[in-house]
Amino acid sequence: MNLVIDIGNSRIKLALFNERDLMFNVPLDELNVAHLQLLLDEHADLKHAILSSVREYPKELKQFLQKSFKYFIELDASTPVPLINRYETPDTLGKDRLAAAVGATEIFPGKNVLVIDAGTAITYELVTANNEYLGGNISPGLNTRFKALSHFTGKLPLVESSDDFPMLGSNTPTAIQAGVQMGLLFEVQQYIEYFNTIYENLEIIITGGDAKFFDKKLKNSIFVNFNLTLIGLNRILEYNVKET
């Protein structure tokens, strides 16, 4: 069995896989050695682990993983991955972006895929049917746009997103809601339509905390998967284990 740890900016995701099958995953506010020891006590066949982190974490976590698992890797720019990475500066490529691209090849092997990760930032990643990651774009996410309007203006209030928003605002709060949310929907829809004209039979995967916002709001058929990054990290782990 495989342990996958994804340490993000605000939350930690921990998952167990039986080879490529996701058994369970859980979000955590913090992760310590006691959590890992409990998993090992409950799952004697837990042998392999991968850790991906975008921030500093306690050194004892890595030391415990190195000592307690038969095979452990920490994802970085030098880690072999099961796709061709065409990004010009792999050292600056976000680990979550790379893992999501790998996850796309696991869900739609041999297909052209546009991955949309809707979180603090919204990222667009393109993977071709030839198993090549071509790169992607980064744009402000839904809540980031609301916060930016409030922060960089003198009088506009901070408004939260809502599923029940108008096409046209009738007051300042609804004008902000309509402007931000319709604007983001138009942006995402245009990205999909543009890449559909270039790549045949393009599959669309949406992941991230705001993925539900786009479900049933877009014209195109989309596949929502909240575990895409975890799936990608596990695929990278499996790839490296088999290479040893």
The catalytic residues are 96
110 known ligand binder: no
Consult the annotation and say whether 163 binds a ligand: no
Does 20 carry a binding-site annotation? no
Residue with tokens 């667009």: 124
Would the annotation count 222 as a binding residue? no
E-assigned strands of the chain? 2-7, 12-18, 21-28, 48-53, 71-74, 84-85, 113-118, 121-127, 132-140, 203-207, 223-224
Amino acid at 72: F
By the 10 Å C-beta count (0-12 exposed, 13-18 middle, 19+ buried), 163 is classed as exposed
Question: 117-126 in b/e burial notation, b at 16+ Cβ within 10 A?
Answer: bbbbbbbbbb
Binding site annotation covers 117? yes
Known binding residue 234? Answer is no
Q: CA-CA distance, 75 to 244, in Å (whole number)?
A: 16
> Is residue 94 annotated as involved in ligand binding?
yes
Query: Is 8 annotated as belonging to a binding site?
Result: yes
| Residue 107 assigned to a binding site | no
DSSP tag of 189: H
Could you give the CA distance from residue 42 to residue 35 in angstroms, rounded to a whole number?
11
Binding residues for K(+): 117
Binding residues: 6-13, 87, 94-97, 117, 120, 172
Binding residues for ATP: 6-13, 120
Binding residues for substrate: 87, 94-97, 172
